[in-house]
Amino acid sequence: MFVKALRVGLGQLIIAGDFITRPRKLQRPANAQAAVDQSAKALTLYQFHACPFCVKTRRTLRRLNVPVALKDAKNNEQDRQTLLEQGGKIKVPCLRIEENGQTTWMYDSKVIIDYLDKRFAAA
More confident of the two residues 104 and 21: 104
Which residue from 10, 5, 106 is spatially nearest to 57, judged by alpha carbons?
106
Query: What is the structure's pLDDT at 92?
Result: 96
Average pLDDT of 88-112? 96
Query: What is the structure's pLDDT at 87?
Result: 94
Q: Which CATH number fits domain 34-120: 3.30.460.10, 3.30.70.3000, 3.40.30.10, 3.40.190.10?
A: 3.40.30.10
29-64 pLDDT tens trace: 999 999 999 999 999 999 999 899 999 999 999 999
Domain ranges of the chain: 34-120
Asked if residues 57 and 13 have their Cβ atoms less than 8 Å apart, the reply is no
Sign of the C-alpha dihedral computed for residues 10, 62, 97 and 80 taken in this order: positive
Average pLDDT of 19-32? 89
Query: What is the structure's pLDDT at 123?
Result: 57
